[in-house]
Amino acid sequence: MRIRAERGGVRFGWNGAFRHELEPGLRLPLDRHGVKKHGKRSHPEPFLSVERVVDNDLLFRFGVLCHTDDFVVVSLVVSIAARLDHGVSFLATTINGRRMTTQRTHDVVVIGGGSAGYAAARTARETGADVAIVDQGPLGGLCILRGCMPTKAILRSAEIAAVMRRAPEFGLSPVEVRASLPAIVDRKDRLVREFADYRIQQLRDPAFVLYEAPATFLSPYRLQVGSTCLSAKSFIIATGSVPREKVIPGLTETGCVTSDSLLDRREQPESLIVLGAGPVGLELAQFFARIGTPVTLVQRAPHVLSHLDADVGVALGQALAAEGLRVMTDTQALRVRRDGNKMAVSVMHKGKEELLTGDLVLNALGRAPNIAGLNLSAAQVTVDAGRVVVDAGMRTSQPHIFAVGDVTELHDVVHIAIQQGELAGWNACHPGDPPRHFDDRLAAEVIFTEPQVAAVGLTEKACRARGLSYLTGAYPFADHGKAMCLGSTQGFVKLMADRANGTVLGAEIVGPESGELIHELLAVMYYRGTVHDLLQIPHYHPTLAEIVTYPAESIVEQMRQS
């Protein structure tokens, strides 16, 4: 069967033997192979009839089918939808007393209603597109429900507890601090509920069509969503990530927890082993240590935060060790097993195998793209090592299918996922225009430990790897007046700048309020500013912010001497 759009209506034929105008009253006989050849004899059932045609809005109705598979009819109708230039609405009907799959068409279908997905949907809708959002729930997204917001809520409780224990340092009477994990979780839940309610309100805005069901691709242009089959001009995959499992033998089978489940735990563990020293592992390790749980942190690399420079990771590792955490670097976890009521982790530490035991083991070995069940092979979308491959315009191997956020594993942070979503939403609705590209030059991150860690742009080791001619300047918080007044003197600020002209290439901060301080450097980099510009910007005294001028001065002096 051929289906094509022609001026004056849609025509289709069977083996070239006949053509019919698609108009009200048209009755098409069907068999197991689709549309039967039209003849003078009476049409046996089953049949497909056209009920209404109004401004390219077509309503089909199916006759009672006796010998035709549901799949034949569904395939026929979806084929017509995929080839029409305009949207087609296919309403549910009944086949032999059973409700048939509903068919719907949109301009853009966004799979995932988290931060990246909502940004993509909002941007596409602003262009005037008919946008659908598919999310199997619970609505809210990773950041709100199991990521950024709940962790920051519980970390605040631990921060206050740590400050209270230091009361004598500031001339205050000592206080006994006791943490109540159920009360901390209750506070977190109240905040998360408020954040989630707001996001749900956004997703259920009448500007969008929201489908709350799992999604799986049937083809590059068809998506099964519950009992509904969606067709679209463009799809945007924004399904986020899930904790990595089966990285170590016994990790899953023994009941190791992930950050997803640990955030809801109301019983404080007697001891905790954390596998992995990335942002999630570090934040949760310090949280539990500060509320009274002995914590052992296991990291395979020579220092924590192995993707950043060594001096950054070493400084944070030393700060955590000073708080009482056991930080085991250069340590490989071999296997996990249960030992009675305890968990046992075999590790290779400094060339010797050692057995660690604890009440609970946290799997903080990273997250993986959440693409299980999407059937991306049917969509002919290229996947490499579990991640969806995209270009700078967030396009996959299928030009009309985009992917954003954690499924790409480019930068697993929310503000970048939002940027990617906005780019994909715009590109999806402007296929004839030059695509907008994602620029990772300003990629930034913050780890909310204490001291905090923040970075933007290139690290020093990235500058070396790229063969850049650069200079570095650093300055410690221990020699900074405002930090000394605050009693927060751990860490330093480090800048990387072009040797020739002083353009700021990147920055790393370990210290108080690093997550706030990094934004001045991000702004300077946005405008491609230099260390000279940093020195020209007035900085109030005494503030933490003025510390960035000292490494800038160091680099300027090095430029003068070279």
Query: Which domains occur in the chain, in start order?
Result: 2-100 (no CATH), 107-142+186-243+368-441 (3.50.50.60), 259-365 (3.50.50.60), 451-561 (3.30.390.30)
Those residues with Cβ within 8 angstroms of residue 321's Cβ, 6 or more apart along the chain or in another chain: 327
Q: How far apart are CA 371 and CA 381, in angstroms?
A: 11
Helices 279-290 and 148-165, packing angle to 10 deg: 40
Given this model, what pLDDT does residue 224 score? Answer: 93
Active-site hit among 67, 411, 532, 541: 541
What would the pLDDT profile of 384-416 be if each residue is shown by its tens digit?
999 999 999 999 999 999 999 999 988 889 999
Backbone angles phi, psi at 251, to 5 degrees: -60, -45
Q: State the pLDDT at residue 222.
A: 93
Q: Element (H or E) spanning 34, and its range?
A: strand 34-35
Instruction: Give the pLDDT of residue 5.
Output: 31
Residue 322's identity, in one-letter code, is: A
pLDDT at 101: 58
Positive/negative CA dihedral, 280, 286, 287, 293: positive
Within 265-359, strands assigned E span 272-275, 295-298, 326-328, 331-339, 342-349, 352-358
Q: What sign for the dihedral angle of Cα 465, 468, 470, 475?
A: negative
Alpha carbon distance 516, 522 (integer Å): 10
Q: Among 435, 377, 383, 373, which Cα is nearest to 409's?
A: 383
| pTM (2 d.p.) | 0.82
Tens digits of per-residue pLDDT, 29-68?
444 334 444 443 344 444 445 444 444 444 444 443 333 3
Letter string b/e over residues 132-168, b meaning 16 or more CB atoms within 10 A of that residue's CB: bbbbbeebbbbbbbbbbbbbebbbbbbeebbeeeeee
What are the residue ranges in the chain where pLDDT is below 50?
1-48, 50-75, 77-100
Active site residue 541: yes
